[in-house]
Structure 1
Amino acid sequence: MKIPAHQHGGSPVILGAVCLAALILPLSFSGGAAATPAIGRELHGSPEALTWITNAFMLTFGSLLMAAGALADRYGRKRIFTIGVALFVLFSLALSVAPSLWVVDLLRAAQGVGAAAALAGGAAALAQEFDGHDRTRAFSLLGTTFGVGLAFGPLTAGLLIETAGWRSVFLTSSLVGALALFFGVPRMRETRDPDAATLDWPGTLSFTGMLALFTIGVIEAPARGWTDGATMGLLAGAAVLLAVFVCIEIHAVRPMLDLSLFRYPQFVGVQILPIATCACFVVLLVILPLRFIGIEGQSAVGAGLMMMALAGPMLVVPMAAAALTHRFSAHVISGAGLIIAAVGLVWLGTVDLNAGLAVLPPMLLIGIGTGLPWGLMDALSVSIVPRERAGMATGIFGTVRVAGEGVALAIVSAALTGLIGRALALSQAASMPSVPQASQRLAVGDMMGAVALVPGMDAPSLIRAYEAAFQTLTNILAAVTILCAITILWLLARAPTSEADALPKTRCLDSNGR
């Protein structure tokens, strides 16, 4: 009889296939952000349309991860993984020939569908293939792979944009995905949960609709105003759909999102981890390239090199964090890393836009701090649920992670626009009706467009307004990160006080990662 793979350490071939496919997800995310100014110059469009280049991808990616996890459990992890990578490759190819900005936005949303299936299926396959400390190492390597994509995404995109144009960024993603399809997938084994239920369509639709309405409302708010009827209607609709989703999941026989799990402190603590890393790290992957290229006037390659200071630590720190679990508990490592990242955020906000390389040390500190929880949270997410529910576990965690990133990007973009507008209102541009539009242009890195909207102000004045807004934003993000760190340290350190408080039939990482 063949020994199950998880009993003999797992297959490196499967790990390699999943990591290769996972490489294209952050590459597409960070590379797409770096390509946004070039896309805007060629295809033109409003600031809202440019914002959707990233947000459309994150919206579908995050909202469909739980559904993809449920489908992986029922129909097979390998099958869903294969379908997801194939869709990602197909829509990446289509993006390389997109004729207009609205087509780019639609294809980015479609690309997110494939990304959700690829990540949910691949992560669930790893959870079945590996066990114990091998699982910790496997998911740490997966985190490192994400780090490679994040670190080299802006630089790779910059090189491609300056040599072959922005379309080559998406063409490259399709080629990497094709490698995973043709060389890795044939060697994967199929696994599924025999007790898995059918897809929770009402839950999936209500959750996706809630995220869509909320994201659209936040993105449109800077232009329309937060008290505008359409904005308030979108946000109210999101609140209603959230209530509908919760009601559906409470009464479902086997829900897509088991809300009862949120009664357990450790489960809640693990879900806060990606929210924290989003606040201190992920949003910067979008904001900083726009700042370097659009506000400071750097080349795409130069901006990519600068971003290496932020994302470069992801190449080594996640694996180092896994090694540290031999001596320290995972929650202590994670909390300490987040506090380090918060210090880096405050420092980053004090650096002038014209300071050149002085911006690199705080970016490096943020990257090192974020890399510590980054290397542990994937393994933690699957260590606290039964093996047969791995698809659901990765779906829930991935949804919180990616949906949180999408929501945070929308909120932070709107906040930066509002803070810039407030700074401009305190200047000589206070009486100009075009200040809100100029603020939006600055937030997406369109300095020339902002100057044209406020002819009474020169570029240095606009830069000063941006600097003031950016410092306030980094301080807010630092405060959120510290609050998350304290909460995580408290929740993950709590021992169950009774049988009712303990997660039944679950495993949690000890200080040795087992």
Structure 2
Amino acid sequence: MTRNRPAWALTLVTAACVLLTLDITIVNVALPAVRDDLGSGLSGLQWVINAYTLVFASVLLTAGSLADSAGRRRVFTGGLAVFTLASLACGLAPSTVALNVSRAVQGLGGAFAFAPAMALIAGSYGGAARTKAIAIFGAATMGAGALGPLAGGVLVETLGWRSMFLLNVPLGAALLWLALRRLDADPPTGRVRLDLVGVVTLTTGVGAVTLALLRGADQGWSSTATLAQAGVGVLALAVFAVSQIRGAHPLLDLSLFRIRSFTGAAVSALLVRVVGFGLMAYLVLFLAAGYSYDAFDVGLRLLALSAPLMAGGLVAVRLGARVPPGGLIAAGFVVSAAGLAALTAADAGGSWARLLPGLVLLGSGLGLVSTPGMTVVMSVVPPSRTGTASGVIQSFLPLGTTLGTAVFGVMFSAHLHEAAGAAPALAGLDAGARERVADALEAGRIDAVAAAVPESLREAATAFGRDALAGALGLLGVAGAVVALAGAVLGALLIRRGDLLHTGAAGEAAEKSPADAP
């Protein structure tokens, strides 16, 4: 394969992946605007996020394998083209359904662009320069995800929510043009083998289970629809697992998980997105509803999370040479757990500064976890399998966002409905009216809470609504803290410096890369 010019490879690939990552979190602050413009409840708003991340996660494994065999630049540029065209469709969407379908196509293009990203960078550098380049890529993409709410807030308040997607069109086109001119074409390394059974069963399984989680509260957890969705999902995932064990060319290369550190990095990637980006939608709804903030104000407050996240990523880069990656990841998860637990101090309608310590700690911890994980992955597999390994690990990132959004959504909804059913402030209301109050809170509509009750109860119902939202956020914080502590234990136990040094050195020797400096 021809060597990519290192500076161009790092700059273009990182810029493209920043754009793709922004599209995971930038929409969070736009949810109230989308709700008002297109009309949608909590489930529809969740799919604005999950339609992108679910397809993204489901296709990344295929895209990673395809990149190794069909050519990494070809897959990268093709994915970027699809993402750019789908962004145009999102910006012009006339309904929530059309928006969610377009978001799914966006996720498809994003997956094909993202999967070979780390392999393109790793193939352009060697030695210590490779580790530094991957760390820069990881810090930039994670920082972009953290800055997404602020960027989204600025765009929503100045140009409207559709601008978040329409601006992707010129940016994506420019990056595509530069990539075709500046990235060296790499010839295919072998015949393309597509595991159709794996693609279909993985996508069906993850999609059906997520659908059951998102729709369970509305449909009823014991309803035929919910049980059928969950059953189809579990069956499809079981078939997927069997096909990966017995298939001649499996989608998921299970042999990679024999490397204990690779498994630890994959689990860490999943859990850091569960507790970070999975919680983001509900944090945004709380800030918007509890304090009546507009999109820009929400994004501005979330700088308390995003700035420490980027700082934590930079600290992780500097500490990487002196602190074992497993210890660094474990420490980051512990700091994140402390920040999540501190969200129990939320007080809607009071001072938002009560959230400040929790947001700072959470951002700092997420930054410490995210950067070393990518370095581990690229250092423990042979160079010929970096595209596949990159696809595996990158699929765990949006999958974590999807899983966190769905599971936290179930908890968020259940808490609000339970609180509405037992609230003394709603005394005298029938069960239907209490459900309408809970539905309004799910969508972050404090004004709709007041409209759903008699005038004599409006002040009390509004106060109840803010308290219920604070309680729901606190519950998610505690649950997230438990997940983060589990991540700390697994990171410390699974990720070993010995794996990093031995396999990474072998990989370097096999590749014999002359490009040792950025």
**With structure 1 as the length reference, what TM-score do the two structures score?**
0.91
**Using a 3 Å threshold, how does the CA distance of structure 1 residues 437 and 506 change in structure 2: closer, same or farther?**
farther
Matched, 1:476 2:471: no
Q: Which amino acid aligns with 2:178?
A: F
Task: From 372, 376, 381, give the equivalent of 1:376.
Answer: 372
1:63 is displaced (CA, Å) by 0.6
C-alpha separation in 1, matches of 2:281 and 2:228: 28
Kept in 2, the 8 Å contact 1:265–1:491? The answer is yes
- SS of 1:396's equivalent? helix
Q: Which amino acid aligns with 2:377?
A: S
1:160 is displaced (CA, Å) by 1.5
Q: Which amino acid aligns with 1:144?
A: A
The aligned residue for residue 447 of structure 2 is 448
What is the aligned length?
Answer: 500
Kept in 1, the 8 Å contact 2:68–2:387? The answer is yes
Q: Structure 2: any 5+ residue segments left out of the alignment? A: 510-518
- Residues 259-305 of structure 1: CA deviation (Å, up to 9, x unaligned): 23334422221111112212331123322222212332101111110
The aligned residue for residue 462 of structure 2 is 459
Q: Which amino acid aligns with 1:462?
A: G
The aligned residue for residue 308 of structure 1 is 303
1:434 is displaced (CA, Å) by 4.6
**Using a 3 Å threshold, how does the CA distance of structure 1 residues 175 and 441 change in structure 2: closer, same or farther?**
farther
**Using a 3 Å threshold, how does the CA distance of structure 1 residues 72 and 365 change in structure 2: closer, same or farther?**
same
The aligned residue for residue 408 of structure 2 is 412
1:149 is displaced (CA, Å) by 1.9
- Residues 199-252 of structure 1: CA deviation (Å, up to 9, x unaligned): 111101110011110111111011112111110110111000001101111111
Kept in 2, the 8 Å contact 1:98–1:104? The answer is yes
Which deviates further from its counterpart, 193-202 or 263-272?
193-202
**Using a 3 Å threshold, how does the CA distance of structure 1 residues 255 and 300 change in structure 2: closer, same or farther?**
same
- Residues 44-83 of structure 1: CA deviation (Å, up to 9, x unaligned): 1232112211111111111110011111112111011101
- SS of 2:276's equivalent? helix
Which deviates further from its counterpart, 343-352 or 190-199?
190-199
Q: Which amino acid aligns with 1:459?
A: T
- SS of 1:415's equivalent? helix
**Using a 3 Å threshold, how does the CA distance of structure 1 residues 504 and 135 change in structure 2: closer, same or farther?**
closer
The aligned residue for residue 137 of structure 2 is 142
Which deviates further from its counterpart, 254-263 or 449-458?
449-458
Q: Which amino acid aligns with 1:447?
A: I
1:371 is displaced (CA, Å) by 0.2
Q: Where do residues 184-263 of structure 1 align in structure 2 (5 Å cutoff)?
A: 184-191=179-186, 194-195=189-190, 197-263=192-258
Kept in 2, the 8 Å contact 1:295–1:446? The answer is no
Which deviates further from its counterpart, 56-65 or 357-366?
357-366
Kept in 2, the 8 Å contact 1:295–1:442? The answer is no
C-alpha separation in 1, matches of 2:243 and 2:380: 24
1:441 is displaced (CA, Å) by 3.4
C-alpha separation in 2, matches of 1:227 and 1:151: 37
C-alpha separation in 1, matches of 2:468 and 2:133: 45
Kept in 1, the 8 Å contact 2:90–2:165? The answer is yes
The aligned residue for residue 485 of structure 1 is 488
Task: From 83, 100, 103, give the equivalent of 1:88.
Answer: 83
C-alpha separation in 2, matches of 1:261 and 1:377: 15
1:317 is displaced (CA, Å) by 2.4
Task: From 342, 357, 364, give the equivalent of 1:361.
Answer: 357
The aligned residue for residue 385 of structure 2 is 389
1:140 is displaced (CA, Å) by 1.4
Q: Where do residues 34-433 of structure 1 align in structure 2 (5 Å cutoff)?
A: 34-191=29-186, 194-195=189-190, 197-353=192-348, 354-428=350-424, 429=426, 432-433=431-432
C-alpha separation in 2, matches of 1:380 and 1:493: 9
**With structure 2 as the length reference, what TM-score do the two structures score?**
0.91
C-alpha separation in 2, matches of 1:402 and 1:506: 28
Percent identity over the alignment is 29
Kept in 1, the 8 Å contact 2:146–2:306? The answer is yes
The alignment's C-alpha RMSD in Å is: 2.5
Kept in 2, the 8 Å contact 1:128–1:191? The answer is no
**Using a 3 Å threshold, how does the CA distance of structure 1 residues 19 and 504 change in structure 2: closer, same or farther?**
closer
- Residues 23-46 of structure 1: CA deviation (Å, up to 9, x unaligned): 112221211111111011011123
C-alpha separation in 2, matches of 1:505 and 1:246: 30
- SS of 2:185's equivalent? coil
The aligned residue for residue 512 of structure 1 is none
Q: Structure 1: any 5+ residue segments left out of the alignment? A: 509-514
- Residues 170-198 of structure 1: CA deviation (Å, up to 9, x unaligned): 11222322221122331112235624651
